[in-house]
C-alpha cells in the first residue's frame, strides 16, 4: 500500500495536471498560481471514505488546510463534513453546502460571537478545549434557549514525532484538556444545564508519518470512553482528529487504509461513530504552486534562482523549514544540474521556497513547480510586501477553471481609511 497518488505527471517532458500542460495554464492565468487536480481531491476523499466503510464514520475535512469554496464544494458533494476552527471557517463551510449536522468546531479561543453563531446554525458538536469554554458555551446556549452538543478535546500527552510547531498533543501544548483531569471535566460538563455531552475528541499533531502515536492516543481515548460509561456518561462520537502525513520528500506515511485496518478490531462491538478530520492528506498532494523564474544570480557558493512567488504566497518553507519538491515545468535536453537556492522577491532572508537544492538548470522566463502545495499554502498566504495574492485554478480532465481571481492593487488597500484631519 503506497502513498496517496496524485495526477501530476510529465507527458512529453511537460508537467501536466491531469490532461492539461501546466505551461499552458501559467501562460493563460499568469504566475504565481495555485493549481489543483479535481481527480486527486476525489481520490483522496474516497481513500478515507472507502477505508472506513466497515464502520459508521464521518469525514470532516479540516478547513484550515484549504478554504477555497470550489474545493469545499467538491468535498461537500461527496458527502464530507467539516472541521472548523473559527466563525469564518464555519461561514465558508456552510456556504459551500456542507450540512451543519456534519460540522465540528475546535480551537482554544472561541469567542462569544462565534459560539452563538455555531449554536444557532446547529452544528454537530463543539470540540471544547477548557472548562471556562464549557461554561461560556453553556451560558450562551441558555440565552439561545438551545442545547449545545459537545465533545471534550483531550490532550493525551503523546509525542506525534513531528515538527514541534505542529505537535498539539503534548503536555506543554496549549490544546485540549489534560488526560488526567478529563473525567472531572466531563462531570463538570454533565452538571451544566444547556450542555449535551455526545463525544470525545483528540488531535495530536500534523504531518505524522508513524502509526504508533496514533494508536496510543486512540487507545487512551477508548479507555476514557469506558471510564466515562462507569460514571453514567455515554459517548456517541469518537473524533480522532487529523494529522496523517503526506509525502513531501521521502517520507512514507501510512495510507488511510492502514489506519482503518489498525482501528478495526478496536471498534468492533462498539457503538461509536468515528469522526476523522483530515486536512493535509486531502489536499496537500492535490495542489502545486507554479512560479516563473525572474532572474538567476551566481552567489558565492551557490546560484540563486529568483522566482515570482515568495514566502507570502507559500509560508511553509520560511515558517517551518518545510521541504517542498521543486522541479522545472518543462524538462529540457542537455541541461546540467545546478546547486541553488530557490528564493522569492520578499525583503527577508527567510524568504525561500527551497534551499541548497540540486536541480536541473532553469532559465529566465521558465516555469518551476513547487509540489505538494495544496495544504497550508493559500490559507497561510499574506499580502506581506504589498504583494497581491495569487490566483487559483481547478483542473478536471482536460478542462480548467479559475476558482479565485488574482488580487489587484485595489484589493490591497480595500477597507483602509484616512482620518478626516489628515485630508486636505
Ligand atoms: C489542523 C487540524 C486538523 C487537520 O490536521 P492535518 O494535519 O492537516 O490533517 C484536524 N483537526 C484539528 C483540530 C486541527 O487543528
Question: What's the CATH code of the domain at 163?
Answer: 3.20.20.10
Nearest ligand 1 atom, CA 153: 13
Residue 313 has pLDDT above 60, yes or no: yes
> Is 158 in contact with 169 (CB distance < 8 Å)?
yes
Alpha carbon separation from 291 to 37, 277, 308, 313, 342 (Å, rounded): 17, 31, 6, 10, 11
Last residue of a domain, one of 280, 304, 333: 280
Return the percentage of the chain with pLDDT > 70, whole number. 98
- For residues 172-188, give the mean pLDDT: 93
The helices-and-strands tally (H runs, E runs) of the chain is 12, 21
Burial of residue 406, with CB atoms counted within 10 A of its CB: 0-12 exposed, 13-18 middle, 19 or more buried: middle
> 3-class SS at 150?
strand
User: Ligand 1: does its nearest atom lie under 6 Å from the Cβ of 104?
Assistant: no
User: Ligand 1: does its nearest atom lie under 6 Å from the Cβ of 106?
Assistant: yes
* Predicted confidence band of residue 158 (pLDDT cuts 50, 70, 90): confident
> What pLDDT shows up at residue 160?
74
User: Ligand 1: does its nearest atom lie under 6 Å from the Cβ of 59?
Assistant: no
- Out of 4, 61, 80, 83, give the residue to mutate to test ligand 1, the one with the largest number of ligand atoms within 8 Å of its CB: 83
| Rounded Cα gap, residues 17 and 21, in angstroms | 6
- Out of 201, 240, 243, 275, give the residue to mutate to test ligand 1, the one with the largest number of ligand atoms within 8 Å of its CB: 243
In the reported structure, the alpha carbon of residue 205 is separated from the centroid of ligand 1 by a whole-number distance in angstroms of 7
| Rounded Cα gap, residues 169 and 181, in angstroms | 15
Considering the chain, what is the average pLDDT of its residues?
Answer: 95
- For residues 190-199, give the mean pLDDT: 98
User: Ligand 1: does its nearest atom lie under 6 Å from the Cβ of 242?
Assistant: yes
* Predicted confidence band of residue 4 (pLDDT cuts 50, 70, 90): low
> What pLDDT shows up at residue 157?
85
* 186 and 226 housed in the same domain: yes
> Is 149 in contact with 198 (CB distance < 8 Å)?
yes
Residue 94 has pLDDT above 50, yes or no: yes
* 22 and 64 housed in the same domain: no
* Predicted confidence band of residue 165 (pLDDT cuts 50, 70, 90): low
Q: Which domain holds residue 16?
A: 2-36+284-412
| Rounded Cα gap, residues 313 and 142, in angstroms | 43
Last residue of a domain, one of 252, 280, 308: 280
Give the residues across from 297 on adjacent strands.
Answer: 304
Angle at which helices 69-78 and 38-51 pack, to 10 degrees? 40
- For residues 312-335, give the mean pLDDT: 96
Residue 3 has pLDDT above 70, yes or no: no
Nearest ligand 1 atom, CA 281: 9
In the reported structure, the alpha carbon of residue 203 is separated from the centroid of ligand 1 by a whole-number distance in angstroms of 7
Look at residues 276, 215, 214 and name the one whose alpha carbon lies nearest to residue 242.
Answer: 276
* Predicted confidence band of residue 170 (pLDDT cuts 50, 70, 90): confident
Residue 164 has pLDDT above 90, yes or no: no
Nearest ligand 1 atom, CA 284: 8
Cell digits of residue 157: 500527552
Last residue of a domain, one of 213, 248, 280: 280
422 part of a folded domain: no
Cell digits of residue 18: 491531469
| Rounded Cα gap, residues 9 and 122, in angstroms | 43
- Out of 203, 239, 282, give the residue to mutate to test ligand 1, the one with the largest number of ligand atoms within 8 Å of its CB: 203
User: How many alpha carbons fall within 13 Å on the CB side of residue 386?
Assistant: 5
Q: For residue 191, how many other CB atoms are within 10 A of its CB?
A: 10
In the reported structure, the alpha carbon of residue 298 is separated from the centroid of ligand 1 by a whole-number distance in angstroms of 40
Look at residues 304, 361, 295, 358 and name the one whose alpha carbon lies nearest to residue 334.
Answer: 361
Residues 6+ positions from 343 with CB-CB distance below 8 Å: 304, 305, 306, 307, 310, 351, 352, 353
234 part of a folded domain: yes
Terminal Cα-to-Cα distance of the chain (whole angstroms):
69
* 302 and 333 housed in the same domain: yes
Residue 109 has pLDDT above 90, yes or no: yes
* 228 and 359 housed in the same domain: no
Q: Catalytic residue numbers?
A: 347
* Predicted confidence band of residue 303 (pLDDT cuts 50, 70, 90): very high
* 122 and 215 housed in the same domain: yes
In the reported structure, the alpha carbon of residue 328 is separated from the centroid of ligand 1 by a whole-number distance in angstroms of 31
* 306 and 236 housed in the same domain: no
* 82 and 12 housed in the same domain: no
| Rounded Cα gap, residues 283 and 149, in angstroms | 29
Residues 6+ positions from 269 with CB-CB distance below 8 Å: none
Cell digits of residue 214: 496514533
User: Ligand 1: does its nearest atom lie under 6 Å from the Cβ of 278?
Assistant: yes
Residue 123 has pLDDT above 90, yes or no: yes
User: Ligand 1: does its nearest atom lie under 6 Å from the Cβ of 203?
Assistant: yes
- Out of 173, 241, 246, 377, give the residue to mutate to test ligand 1, the one with the largest number of ligand atoms within 8 Å of its CB: 241
| Rounded Cα gap, residues 105 and 76, in angstroms | 17
How would you label 220-229 residue by residue, b for 16+ Cβ within 10 Å and e otherwise? bbbebbeebe
* Predicted confidence band of residue 174 (pLDDT cuts 50, 70, 90): confident
> What pLDDT shows up at residue 166?
67
* Predicted confidence band of residue 26 (pLDDT cuts 50, 70, 90): very high
> What pLDDT shows up at residue 1?
43
405 part of a folded domain: yes
225 part of a folded domain: yes
420 part of a folded domain: no
* 23 and 45 housed in the same domain: no
- For residues 198-203, give the mean pLDDT: 97
Residue 2 has pLDDT above 60, yes or no: no
* 110 and 248 housed in the same domain: yes
User: Ligand 1: does its nearest atom lie under 6 Å from the Cβ of 83?
Assistant: yes
User: Ligand 1: does its nearest atom lie under 6 Å from the Cβ of 246?
Assistant: no
The beta-strand segments (E) located in 124-278 are 125-128, 148-155, 177-178, 195-201, 237-239, 273-276
Give the residues across from 304 on adjacent strands.
Answer: 297, 341
Q: Based on C-alpha coordinates, what's the Rg of the chain?
A: 23
Q: Hunting for cell 453546502 — which residue is that?
A: 97
* Predicted confidence band of residue 74 (pLDDT cuts 50, 70, 90): very high
The beta-strand segments (E) located in 80-236 are 81-84, 103-105, 125-128, 148-155, 177-178, 195-201
* 291 and 367 housed in the same domain: yes
Residue 409 has pLDDT above 60, yes or no: yes
* Predicted confidence band of residue 382 (pLDDT cuts 50, 70, 90): very high
Nearest ligand 1 atom, CA 127: 13
Report the alpha-carbon angle 333-337-341, nearest 5. 130
Check which CATH number belongs to the domain holding 359 and give it: 2.40.37.10
In the reported structure, the alpha carbon of residue 276 is separated from the centroid of ligand 1 by a whole-number distance in angstroms of 9
Residues 6+ positions from 154 with CB-CB distance below 8 Å: 176, 177, 179, 182, 200, 201, 202, 220, 221, 224
DSSP state at residue 233: -
pLDDT tens digit string along 209-244?
A: 999 998 999 999 999 999 999 999 999 999 999 999
Nearest ligand 1 atom, CA 206: 7
> What pLDDT shows up at residue 264?
96
Look at residues 341, 358, 167 and name the one whose alpha carbon lies nearest to residue 245.
Answer: 167
* 135 and 203 housed in the same domain: yes
In which element (H, E) is residue 409 found? helix 409-413
Domain total of the chain: 2
335 part of a folded domain: yes
421 part of a folded domain: no
* 116 and 29 housed in the same domain: no
Backbone phi, psi, residue 204, to 5°: -100, -5
Amino acid at each position: 500500500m503506497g502513498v496517496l497518488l496524485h495526477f501530476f505527471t510529465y507527458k512529453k517532458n511537460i508537467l501536466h495536471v491531469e490532461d492539461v500542460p501546466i505551461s499552458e495554464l501559467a501562460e493563460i492565468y499568469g504566475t504565481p498560481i495555485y493549481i489543483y487536480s479535481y481527480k486527486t481531491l476525489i481520490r483522496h476523499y474516497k481513500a478515507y471514505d472507502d477505508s472506513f466503510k466497515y464502520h459508521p464514520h464521518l469525514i470532516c475535512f479540516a478547513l484550515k488546510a484549504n478554504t477555497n469554496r470550489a474545493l469545499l464544494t467538491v468535498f461537500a458533494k461527496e458527502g464530507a463534513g467539516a472541521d472548523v476552527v473559527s466563525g469564518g471557517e464555519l461561514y465558508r463551510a456552510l456556504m459551500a453546502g456542507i450540512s451543519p449536522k456534519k460540522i465540528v468546531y475546535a480551537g482554544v479561543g472561541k469567542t462569544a460571537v462565534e459560539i452563538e453563531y455555531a449554536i444557532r446554525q446547529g452544528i454537530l458538536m463543539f470540540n471544547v478545549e477548557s472548562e471556562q469554554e464549557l461554561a461560556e458555551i453553556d451560558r450562551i446556549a441558555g440565552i439561545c434557549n438551545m442545547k449545545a452538543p459537545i465533545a471534550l478535546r483531550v490532550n493525551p500527552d503523546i509525542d506525534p514525532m513531528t515538527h514541534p510547531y505542529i505537535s498539539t498533543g503534548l503536555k506543554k501544548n496549549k490544546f485540549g484538556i489534560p488526560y488526567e483531569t478529563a473525567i472531572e471535566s466531563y462531570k463538570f460538563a454533565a452538571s451544566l444545564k444547556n450542555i449535551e455531552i455526545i463525544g470525545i475528541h483528540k488531535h495530536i499533531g500534523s504531518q505524522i508519518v508513524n502509526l504508533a502515536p496514533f494508536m496510543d492516543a486512540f487507545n487512551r481515548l477508548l479507555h476514557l470512553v469506558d471510564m466515562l460509561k462507569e460514571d453514567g456518561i455515554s459517548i456517541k462520537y469518537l473524533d480522532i482528529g487529523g494529522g496523517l502525513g503526506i509525502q513531501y520528500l521521502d517520507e512514507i506515511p501510512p495510507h488511510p487504509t492502514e489506519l482503518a485496518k489498525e482501528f478495526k478490531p478496536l471498534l468492533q462491538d462498539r457503538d461509536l461513530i468515528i469522526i476523522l478530520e483530515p486536512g493535509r492528506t486531502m489536499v496537500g498532494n492535490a495542489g502545486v504552486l507554479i512560479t516563473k523564474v525572474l532572474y538567476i544570480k551566481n552567489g558565492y557558493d551557490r546560484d540563486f534562482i529568483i522566482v515570482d512567488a515568495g514566502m507570502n504566497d507559500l509560508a511553509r518553507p520560511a515558517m517551518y523549514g518545510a521541504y517542498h519538491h521543486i522541479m522545472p515545468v518543462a524538462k529540457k535536453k542537455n541541461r546540467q544540474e545546478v546547486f541553488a537556492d530557490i528564493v522569492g522577491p520578499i525583503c527577508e532572508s527567510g524568504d525561500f521556497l527551497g534551499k541548497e537544492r540540486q536541480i536541473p538548470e532553469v532559465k529566465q522566463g521558465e516555469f518551476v513547480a513547487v509540489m505538494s502545495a495544496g495544504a497550508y499554502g493559500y490559507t497561510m498566504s499574506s499580502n506581506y510586501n504589498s504583494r497581491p495574492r495569487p490566483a487559483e485554478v481547478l483542473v478536471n480532465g482536460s478542462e480548467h477553471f479559475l476558482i479565485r481571481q488574482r488580487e489587484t492593487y485595489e484589493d490591497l488597500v480595500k477597507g483602509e481609511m484616512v482620518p478626516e484631519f489628515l485630508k486636505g
